[in-house]
């Protein structure tokens, strides 16, 4: 049970992008420097965030990145989902065919509950709250 680096870096990159005033975008290079993320690696992070519709690159080359929606409308889980499939702690709890004992297995419901708790917690915190917390 670990949060992988893409999600961790992704969250940090989002904060960096969100913090920037909306007048000028922020360049990958600048994010990489401020957050100590290898530039080459960061581009796959940026690519994930862009694909998830969380950031946009307004114009071409030097325009930099902007946040795509208001920070209060972006949850940590949104960022998680930019890099990972829907959270599934154990396979059987989302796919009953996965396991023959599914009908009477008491662990299935438990893992499902834990899964929901984690997911709900990630959905409950927004980027806005993280930014407030920083001040």
Site for a second copy, rule CB under 8 A? 1-3, 8, 11-12, 15, 36, 76, 84, 87-90, 100-101, 104-107, 109-111, 113-114, 117-118, 121-122, 125, 130-131, 133-134
Q: Is 4 in the site for DNA (CB under 7 A)?
A: yes
Q: CB under 5 to 8 A by kind: which of DNA, a second copy, none does 57 bind? A: DNA
- Which stretches of 1-135 are assigned E, i.e. beta strand? 55-57, 65-67
- Contact present, 106 and 93 (Cβ < 8 Å): no
Residue 46 in contact with DNA, rule: CB under 7 A: yes
State in angstroms the smallest separation of the CB of 40 from DNA: 4
CB 17 within 8 A of CB 65: yes
User: What region, left, alpha or beta, does residue 27 occupy, with left being phi > 0 and alpha being psi -120 to 50 degrees?
Assistant: beta
Residue with structure tokens 């960061």?
42
- Under the criterion CB under 7 A, does residue 53 sit at the interface with DNA? no
């Amino acid at each position: 049970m670990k949060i992988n680096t893409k999600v961790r870096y992704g969250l940090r990159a989002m904060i960096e992008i969100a913090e920037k005033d909306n007048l000028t975008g922020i360049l990958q290079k600048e994010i990489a420097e401020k957050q100590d993320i290898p530039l080459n690696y960061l581009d796959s992070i940026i690519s994930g965030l862009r694909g998830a519709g969380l950031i946009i690159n307004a114009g071409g080359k030097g325009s930099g990145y902007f946040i795509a929606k208001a920070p209060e409308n972006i949850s940590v889980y949104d960022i998680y989902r930019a890099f990972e499939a829907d959270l599934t702690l154990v396979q059987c709890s989302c796919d009953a065919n996965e396991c023959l004992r599914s009908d009477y297995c008491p662990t299935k419901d438990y893992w499902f509950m834990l899964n929901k708790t984690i997911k709900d917690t990630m959905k409950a915190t927004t980027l806005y709250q993280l930014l407030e917390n920083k001040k």
